[in-house]
Amino acid sequence: MKTTTLKMLGAAVVAGALALLSAAAQTADEIGAPQEQGAPTASGSGPLTTETVVELLDAPDADALHARRRFVPADNVRAGDEVYYTIRVHNPGRTPVSNVVVTKRLPYGMLYARGSAVGPASEVQFSVDGGETFGPPAELEVQPTGQPRRRAVIGDYTHVRWLLRYPLSPGATALLRFRATLN
């Protein structure tokens, strides 16, 4: 009986270790694909769906006269690239959804671009503690280990949150945006 229990325990430990390795590999893979990280969460008085579009602004060839810049999918992001995030929040229901709150975790290695978060008639807030609390930039503080409390800087931001001031009409979609740079 003890041998069977030990074998089952050993199998569970191995399965757990494999799950952790798989999660770590997935996290490492996601660094190059910021669109796959931290899907936004949306809440309100009714059902909501979200979709995130992650793009880069493509620089035209130097030889092309009057070439226009265009957005392209951010499939391969390099250090220093500025990435444009658009979160589409949709009300699929038949009644307006009020008290809409949308939260997006900043992807690993991405530094929020100051003043870039916008949304229609929305208040934008930030978190510096992993999404536990939110506030406007002027009210955010951090206390690094062994150091005095200080005002938060954009490098401390972990999440962006939008609070829509008006209900989202049936069938309507709100576009929420921000930019970030890969460190």
Binned at pLDDT 50, 70 and 90, residue 105 comes out as very high
- CATH topology assigned to domain 31-182: Immunoglobulin-like (2.60.40)
Instruction: Specify the pLDDT at position 37.
Output: 59
**3-state SS string over 47-96?**
CCEEEEEEEEEECCCCCCCCCCCEEEECCCCCCCCEEEEEEEEECCCCCC
pLDDT per residue as tens digits for the range 108-164: 999 999 999 999 999 999 999 999 999 999 999 999 999 999 999 999 999 999 999
By C-alpha distance, which of 52, 42, 54 is closest to 92? Answer: 42
Tokens matching residue 64: 């092309």
pLDDT per residue as tens digits for the range 20-61: 333 333 333 333 444 445 789 999 999 999 999 999 988 766
